[in-house]
Amino acid sequence: MQSPLTNFMELILTYFAEIWDFLIFVGQVSGVIVVMIGAILWFTEANIKRGRGLVFGGILLSVVVEYFVLFPPAFVT
């Protein structure tokens, strides 16, 4: 017999595995949108510092998401 905490963890992992593809999609779209908004701010010189930060942050977000696409956690496979 398993403890209620173990059952709860298995339930959460099951749900997370089911929505994994949607979370990856949201991460990829978010990375593109953040880079585009940052580029607009940076190149129009509306707010250069914040635009540059958004561009680099969006690139970092995209790299992290692609890492999880290439090497998914054990519960996804």
Q: What is the pLDDT of residue 1?
A: 65
**With a cut of 70, which residues of the chain have pLDDT below it?**
1, 77
pTM across the whole model:
0.79
Q: Residues 19, 9: contact at Cβ < 8 Å? A: no
For residue 65, what are the CA distances in angstroms to 2, 29, 72? 34, 10, 10
Long-range CB contacts (within 8 A, 24+) of 7-13: 13/75
Q: What is the pLDDT of residue 73?
A: 85
